[in-house]
Amino acid sequence: MLRLPVFGSAAPTTISELVAQLSKPGARLVAGGTDLLPNLKHGLEAPSTLVSTDRVESLREVSWHEDKAELHVGASVTLSDIASDKKIVAQFPSFAQAAGLVASPLIRNMATIGGNINLDTRCRYVNQSEFWRSSIGGCLKAAGDVCHVVPKGRSCVAAMSSDCVPALISLGAELLQSGRKANAESLWLITTITKAPSTRSEKTASSPQSSSCQYRTSQVAQVTPSGAYEKASISRF
Ligand SMILES: Cc1cc2nc3c(=O)[nH]c(=O)nc-3n(C[C@H](O)[C@H](O)[C@H](O)COP(=O)(O)OP(=O)(O)OC[C@H]3O[C@@H](n4cnc5c(N)ncnc54)[C@H](O)[C@@H]3O)c2cc1C
Ligand code: SF4
């Protein structure tokens, strides 16, 4: 049986407490835990503390702003809720469809959009037990110096496996982040999508493709020293 390592835990109820907890050394965010906890059991990470987003009510909200034709989706909204939200289904069907096709109903009931956007890359040579990995000498991503997918490669080519990210990129979504220090893990608060029918048309028929693309966020507003929000857009490399 694979066991979780020892770690501390915190479950703040406000965003400012969450950001403060996150700025502690070795702290790591956990939302639904469907990606992070298996990785901990596999010995891929060893955080000192897991800081849960679960008790921050404001991160669970989906709101539609009619005046700006803008949708705000809190980072802790589950993929099940996104897939069944009437406004999202009507206004951004590709996003609802992508969320509704992730994994299985049980996982979608736990998994959040914040976690899906921040999903770690996966690879059959690394998402295994520590014992299994040690038998092949690790790899560039985990305690080794070779890539088993591209044996002469110098960097990891593990694929991003989020199904929601390609839909969000195609919709020009923006992410609102908060974090106190440049080197602290950022907390992603809200995904904003604006309906712009003149520049964008959505087809309901096509299924979202599993993506192998990497993505980045680009900062479009400065974070203040007090830890105020910054905005980022999400786009392909
Ligand atoms: C069997 C299985 C099948 C799967 N199949 C698919 C699939 O078909 N398509 C697909 O897209 N995904 C798939 N996944 C991955 C799944 O979508 C993710 O596990 C899930 O979306 C992660 O969400 P979570 O809330 O559980 O995140 P967690 O596991 O809690 O966190 C994941 C990562 O995000 C970080 N994080 C969480 N919330 C935030 C936040 N608000 N701000 C910043 N960082 C944050 C965490 O620190 C961690 O690094 C599958 C997973 C499993 C176990
Ligand atoms: S370094 Fe290579 S083998 Fe290791 S996770 Fe990345 S792609 Fe997979």
Residue 25 lies in a domain: no
Task: Say how many domains are in the chain.
Answer: 2
Q: Decide if 230 is inside a domain.
A: yes
3-state secondary structure at position 221: coil
**236, β-bridge pairs:** 215
**Residue 189 located in a structural domain:** yes
Say whether both 165 and 90 belong to one domain: yes
Domain that holds residue 153: 123-158
Q: Do 232 and 130 share a domain, yes or no?
A: no
Query: Is 97 within the bounds of a domain?
Result: yes
Does the beta carbon of 10 sit less than 6 angstroms from any atom of ligand 2?
no
162 Cα nearest atom in ligand 1: 11
**pLDDT above 90 for 150:** yes
Average pLDDT over every residue of 127-156: 91
Question: From ligand 2's centre to the CA of 175, what distance in Å?
Answer: 28
Q: What is the pLDDT of residue 39?
A: 94
Give the ligand with the smallest distance to the CA of 125. 2
Q: What's the confidence (pLDDT) of residue 185?
A: 53
Q: What is the CATH number of the domain that holds 61?
A: 3.30.465.10
Tell whether 206 is covered by a domain: yes
Residue 119 CA, ligand 2 centroid: distance in Å: 16
List pLDDT tens digits, range 94-127: 999 999 999 999 999 999 999 998 888 899 999 9
Q: Is residue 69 part of a domain?
A: yes
What are the tokens at 22? 């996150």
* DSSP state, residue 227: -
| Cβ(160) – ligand 2 distance below 6 Å | no
204 and 142 in a common domain = no
Q: Rounded to two decimals, what is the model's pTM?
A: 0.85
Express each pLDDT in 122-138 by its tens digit: 999 999 999 999 999 99
- Ligand 1 site, residue 177, Cβ cutoff 6 A: no
Burial grade of 175 (CB within 10 A; 0-12, 13-18, 19 or more): buried
CA-CA distance, 48 to 115, in Å (whole number)? 19
Q: What is the pLDDT of residue 229?
A: 44
In this structure, the answer to whether residues 217 and 184 fall within a common structural domain is yes
Measured in Å, residue 199 CA sits from the centre of ligand 1 at: 31
Cα 114 to middle of ligand 1, angstroms: 8
